[in-house]
Each structure stands twice: as C-alpha cells, then as structure tokens.
Chains A and B, each alone.
Chain A
Amino acid sequence: MSKKTALIFGFNQYSSEIAINVKDKYDNIELYSLDEKNCNDSKCKVEYFDLSDEWSHIEKSVDVKNSIAFCVLEDTAKNIFLTISLRAYFSDLHIIAIASNKESANKLLMAGASKVVPIVETTAEIIANMLELPISNKVLHSILFEESALKIAQIEVTVKSDIKDEKLLDVDWTKYQGIIVLSIMHEDMSSEFIYSSKAKHHIVKEGDTLVVVGYENDIKKFRKNIRSE
C-alpha cells in the first residue's frame, strides 16, 4: 500500500534535522544513504542507494503525488545528479534540495528541484536580520518557527466568500478585527503585496489565497467570515 512519505536522501545533520521537523506531517520517513556503513551502524532505519538506482521500489511503496523528497547530499555535484535522476523518474514528486550557494541553487532548480534552500545565503540573511532588525526578526521567527500565539495563515477564497468579485482596494479590512492582510496569492502562484498597485486593482476570485497575520482566534473568525462558513 502506498504511503504519504518523506524521502530523505543523504545521511547527515541536515537529514536528521529535517526528519525531526517533518515527522508529524508524513506517515513514513525514509532515510537513504550513499554510504553502506551508515545503513548498518545507524540506530534508525537507513537504506542504501546509489546514484544509478532505478526508483521502481519507491514508486511501488510511496504515494508519490502526496510525498516529498529532500536531497541533502553534501557533495553538490552528487546532489544535482540525484535531483535530476529523481525528477526524470517522478514528474509529480515535490523535491526540496539544499545548496551551498546561489550558483548550485540555480543548477538544482534547472535539474528539477521544486524548491531549493541555499544554506549560505539563508544563514547570512538570518544573521543580518538578527543584527540589523532584532525586533522584527524575533517577531517573524516566533510567527514562523515557534509556538507563538501570533500566527501567519493562508486562507483561500471560496465560492461562497463575501469578498469574492470585490476589488481588493474596496475591501474594508478593518471590519475583520485583529488581523492584518499582508498579501494575496493568485491561482498562478504569483503573490502580490496587499498595497502594491497591481494588487489594489485586483478583483478577488475564487482560488485566490490571502496571507494574514493574527492571533489564532482572530484568524479562525476571519477564515469563517471569508469562507462564509
């Protein structure tokens, strides 16, 4: 029976951190290592793979459309090769890869990764924010990564929504107390800041997603109102 699985390729500290953070979202976590030694020594179940692998065994046991693959090999060339190999076999698989820098991030995107995390840039960006904008960094960090009362949520506009077919500029957000609408994402996945000139004239359609910040209860109320639940 196929399962919603997180496939993690690479056996290192990145893979263990990823496994810890995604274990609640997937039925199954599969760890793969290029080194056979890891498969024998590790306390958790680690499977051996090589880059010439046929992925048919994964296809049989995994619900590919609802699964995700993480390519976290430390060798950039091998990571790119792995990504291209997975993409060639699974056109629908969501692949997240890590890259040491922007150059390899671009190559990984070309190789078919759905999303790339450039480690050096991301780390530097977080340090720069910690130093230059300590307060906003703390707030954003707690919203995103910690169990804070303040949440960020994405709310889809449904067919019943009372703001559907309204011009974004004309929507009176103040009646939805306690929340701040940051941006709107269109069906084509492009997002616009709520005050951008493009977004202002946008007519809200079914399928648009609003990105809002607020306390949990206020978001619930807002969701209820927007969806006319």
Chain B
Amino acid sequence: MLKTLIINGAYYLNTSKSYQKRKNFFYNLLENDKYAYKHYVDILMITLIFISVAVLIREVKYPVDDAFLFFSTYIISIIFFIEYVLRLWVFSSVSSTIVAQAEHDTFLNNEVRLLKAFKSIVKRKFSYIFSVRAIIDLLAILPFFHELRLLRIFILFRVFKLFRYAKSFQTLASVLAIKKFEFITLAIFSSIVVFISSVLIYVMEANNEASPINTLFDAIYWSIVTISTVGYGDVTPITPEGRLVAMIVITIGIAVLAFTTSLVVSAFTEKLDEIKEVKIITDVSKLYDFYLICGYEDVARELVKKLKKKQRNIVVLDEDEKRVALAQSDGVIALNYNPANVESYKKLNIDIKKQVKSILCLREDDVENVYTALTVRSIDKDVFILSLLMNGLNRKKLKFAGVDNIVYPQELVGLITKELIGKPVAFEVIHQLRSEDTNVNIDEIAVTSRIAQNFPHLGMLGNKNFRVIVLGIYKSSVDKFYFNPIDSTVLQSGDYILVVGYKVFIEEFENHLLSRFDYE
C-alpha cells in the first residue's frame, strides 16, 4: 500500500509541470550561471556574508544593536539554511530515481525494489552533503546556535561561502590546482626543513639561559618566521651554533619563497589562454541577438567593420588561429573553434535559437560553407543562414544544406556592371543610399503601436519638415511594399516606413515620431 503510494507520488511529481517548473526555477536561481536572476541572488548572499562579518568584528569591542545581532544570528542563518535545503533538493531528483527503478523492475517483470532506489537516493544526496561546498554551507549556519560562544567563530565560514559566489576565487583555485604536485612537494620540503631546523635550534639554544628559545614551540615559531623570510626578530639565536643554523634556514627560506612565487606565476602563465577563453565563453553565453560569423576572411572582415558601426553584437568562429587572432585584433569576440563541428556549439554553450540573430557562413570556400550550414541546420531548423558562394555550380548544394540567402560576388559584379552601363546615375544614387559612408541614406522605421496611435495617417507624419522623403510603406500584414503611398494611407503597428534623407534628419524624424505625446 505504502509502496504503491510512494511510486504513484514519484510518478505524479515527475510528470507534474508545476512541480518541475518550480524545481527548475530554484535550480536556475542557485546553480545556473546563465540565468539572469542568479546574479542578484549571488549579490544578496555576498551582502549577507559581509553583514555578519561586520557584526562579528564590531561585537569584539563595542556593543551591537540587538536588532543587528538578531538579524546576523537568526535571519541570515535561516536564509542560509533555506539555501542549503534548496541546494540539497535541486542537486538530484528523488522522484526520477524512484520512477527509473520502478520502470526498470516492471520491464523485467520483477517487484519494484524501492529499497534499492532509496539507497541510490541517499548515496547521491550524501555525495552532495559531504562535498566541500556543502560542508562550508552547513558550517555557515552554525552561528545560529550563538549561545555556544565557540560556534560564533563559524561566522568566518560564511566568508568561505564567497568561493561559491565569486567566479574569480574559483578561477584562482583552478589555476593553483594545476601545480598541485609542485605545491605538495614544496610543502613537504618546507616541513622537513622546519622540523630539522626547529630541532637543531632547540638543541643548540634551549640550554642557554640567555636565549629566548626555551621550548620546542619557540623553536618551531622561530623556524617558520625565518623560513618565510618574515623575520620578526622577537626570537633570535644567540649561540654561534644557533646562528649557523639561522644562516642556513635564511638561505633555504629565500629559495622556498622564490620557488613558490615562480610556481604561482608559471601556473597563471600556463592557464592564461584558458582563463581568457573561459571568460570569452562566459561572455558569449550571456550575449543575445548576435551575428555568428563562421570564417573570418576578407568579406567577413569588411562586414564586421560595417556591423560594428551599428553597434551590433558579433561573435566569430574560425578554426584557423591566425584568422582568430586577426579578428581579435579587430576588436571582435573571436574563438578558435571549428564552426562546422556540432561539438563547438556544445562547448561554447551557445543556444542558437535564443541567442543568435543570423549565422553568416563567410569562408571563401564553398565546401566549408556547405559543411557549416549543414551543421547549423542539424542543430536548429529555423535560424537564418546567409552564405557566400564562390562558385556558381555550388549554389544548389548550399540551398540543399539549408542556406536561406546566398550572396554570389561574381553574380553581383555582373549585375552591377549591367546597371553601370545602363543607368550609371541611377546606380550611383542607389549605391550612395546603400552606402554607410555617405550622408544621404535609406532607412526603415518600424511603426510601433504608439506611432500608429499618434499618426494614424501617413500625411500626418510631417516628414517634409525634416527634409525626409517617404519612399514607401511595407505592410507586414500583407507582405507588400506600397511605393509613394497617398497621404490618407492608414499606418498600422508592424508596418515599416522606408525613408530617404540625411542621416541626422532621419534620426530627428524618428525621434519626433517616437517622442510625440498621445492625443487626449
């Protein structure tokens, strides 16, 4: 009976959308670095940590307001406790484990072994409870029992919690971790030197009444202070034998210090590229509405200049290190990853559907562009893909690979020359309108509901006052462009007004449309 109830409950939770939604929300809030609100939770926790440490320091010599003490001792502890429980909850799914076990056993026509499922659940949960981070979290809750004065010192464990919230600490730890073996060797060597020198100095000095080294503890203290090159000078050997030991320890101390410094520096040097890459990947994962340029050659470079002028977000992927370096020197986020490899997108944690505006396959090599387009299409069916075509014979292949728009420079040259010899002036005018480098431009103004409400008819726009020509209106509802429409044309939200004029005047005109107050 109880068994059935548990299994049914697990199935219910596993399929309950509201339960999964809530669990997912808390998981994102606590563990998902890409989740926008996690950042605020981290800031809140860091603030709470600093408040409790500030109260602890103040309390040493001065009286602290009861409200502050109550807040630091109880409220913060309760918040940390809730955080601990939530982390434990989202770490693994109890219901999923029970459901998996039930399905496995049912499939094999066996009785459902709930005990095995519970063992697995407990094992998973304990693996979290005994992790260093969870232990620190738990210790940070202990000041709740502040009547036990010793436990108050556990407030300092709250400081260790900073490791969880500040990425730089984690980076530092990961950098030093790569030299773990060297640091352990150094620690063993230093311990042996401290031990030998402490014993030696104790033997040499302890029987001399004038010497400040009377106990083994004094000897160890002196040895550590000396080997670390701190040298307070409060405890010094006075016998010639003792001073000889001191000279040796000082020399070793310098070597130990130099070795430690070089270890830290070399660890950072070795990890520098990786740290930079991790930083870029983190930045990219937070970027939205960006153009993903696959391949950084001449056309891509020129396009980047134009898109940067419009302050668009751009990410470049290229498998060639030199081209990546060139893109980086051009001030673009560029990563040395093969854009034609699905793994690259997984490693970079790019959600094409949510983050990418368009994929631009700009290698001057049709084979690479086809390969990249196919890869992207296999990940996302809807994203807009534009590709360069270098050989007209490959047009169909690019289309087949799922490219939405193909740009074939050779064909463009053909069309341009046709217009150049047919209508040179008209060509020049349109070229200038398209070019970013001229003052007169063509632009698209999106009609918002506010604009449509304030300017119901085209004739009300007042474009002539801004020396702006309205070339036409694109009605998205019917997907049609109306050239030179009459003044009584009704404006609707979602329409686009195509205007020609000086950049500055177009901007002023757009501001005029957007800033006009609603009619009463």
Q: List residues of chain A with CB under 8 Å of any chain B CB.
A: 13-14, 16-18, 20-22, 25, 68, 70, 72, 94, 96, 98, 100-101, 115, 117, 119-133, 135-140, 143-145, 150, 152-154, 178-180, 182-183, 185, 191, 193-196, 209, 211, 213-215
Residues of the A chain whose Cβ atoms lie less than 8 Å from the Cβ of B291: 131
Which residues does chain A contribute within 8 Å of B420, judged by CB atoms? 96, 115, 117
| Chain B contacts for A143, CB-based, 8 A | 430
B489 at interface, CB cutoff 8 A: no
Q: Is the CB of A132 within 8 A of B310?
A: yes
Q: B397: CB under 8 A from chain A?
A: no
- Kindly list 18 other residue pairs between chains A and B, CB separation below 8 angstroms, not including A133-B442, A154-B426: A17-B410, A96-B417, A119-B409, A120-B299, A123-B409, A128-B306, A130-B386, A135-B474, A136-B443, A140-B433, A140-B434, A144-B427, A145-B419, A152-B430, A178-B484, A183-B429, A195-B467, A211-B429
Evaluate whether A14 and B413 lie within 8 angstroms (CB atoms) in the complex, with A124-B302, A132-B310, A144-B430 already known. Answer: yes
Could you say which of B303, B417, B474 has the most chain A C-beta atoms within 10 Å of its C-beta?
A: B417
Q: From A13, A14, A115, A191, give the contact of B429 (CB < 8 A).
A: A191
Check if A139 sits within 8 Å of B472, measured CB to CB. Answer: yes
Instruction: Say whether B392 contacts A13, CB under 8 Å.
Output: yes
Give a binary string over B401-445; 1 marks a CB under 8 Å from any A CB, 0 the rest: 000010101111111111111110111111011111001101110
- Chain A residues lying within 8 Å of B391, measured Cβ to Cβ, are 13
Which residues of the partner chain A approach B433 to less than 8 Å between Cβ atoms? 140, 182
CB distance from B415 to the nearest CB of A (A): 5
Binding site for A on B (CB under 8 A): 291, 298-299, 302-303, 305-307, 310, 312, 357-358, 360, 386, 388, 391-392, 405, 407, 409-423, 425-430, 432-436, 439-440, 442-444, 467-469, 471-472, 474, 481, 483-484, 496, 498, 500-502, 505
A119, A138, A143, A153: which has the most chain B beta carbons within 10 Å?
Answer: A119
**A125 to B299, alpha carbons, bound, how many Å?**
9
Contact B414 A211 (CB under 8 A): no
Nearest neighbor of B470 in chain A, beta-carbon distance: A180
A–B complex contacts, Cβ < 8 Å, 8 sampled: A21-B415, A123-B412, A125-B436, A128-B436, A133-B444, A191-B432, A195-B501, A195-B502
The answer to whether B360 and A127 touch across the interface, beta carbons within 8 angstroms, is yes
Partner of B407, one of A18, A21, A127: A127
Which B residues are CB-close (under 8 A) to A101? 298
B417 CB contact (under 8 Å) in A70, A121, A132, A194: A70
Provide the bound-state CA to CA distance between A207 and B291, in Å: 46
User: A152 to chain B: which residues have CB within 8 Å?
Assistant: 423, 426, 429-430
Residues of B contacting A129 with CB < 8 Å? Answer: 434
Say yes or no: B418 contacts A22, CB within 8 Å. Answer: yes
Contact present for A123 and B414 (CB under 8 Å): no
CA distance A26 to B103 in the complex (A): 78
Q: Name the distance in Å between B137's Cβ and chain A's nearest Cβ.
A: 48
- Name B474's closest neighbour in chain A (CB-CB): A135
**B388 to chain A: closest residue by CB:** A123
* Contact of B411 with A139 in the complex, beta carbons under 8 Å: no
The answer to whether A17 and B414 touch across the interface, beta carbons within 8 angstroms, is: yes
Q: Which of A20, A70, A178, A195 has the most CB of B within 10 A?
A: A195
**Residues of B close to A193: CB separation below 8 A:** 439-440, 500-502
Q: For the complex, give the distance between the alpha carbons of A70 and B298 in Å.
A: 23
Whether B299 and A127, one on each chain, are in contact in the complex, defined by CB atoms closer than 8 angstroms, is yes
Question: B413 contacts A119, CB within 8 Å?
Answer: yes
Identify which of A119, A126, A127 gathers the most chain B CB atoms within 10 Å of its CB.
A127
A213 to B442, CA, bound (A): 14
Bound Cα distance from A222 to B15, whole angstroms: 70
Contact check, B484 vs A214: say whether CB atoms are below 8 A apart: yes
Report the minimum CB–CB distance from A148 to chain B (whole Å): 10
Query: In the bound complex, how far is the Cα of B481 from the Cα of A211, in angstroms?
Result: 21
> In the complex, what residues of A have CB within 8 A of residue B425's CB?
154, 185, 191, 209, 211
Query: Taking A68-B421, A133-B443 as contacts, is the C-beta distance between A128 and B484 under 8 angstroms?
Result: no
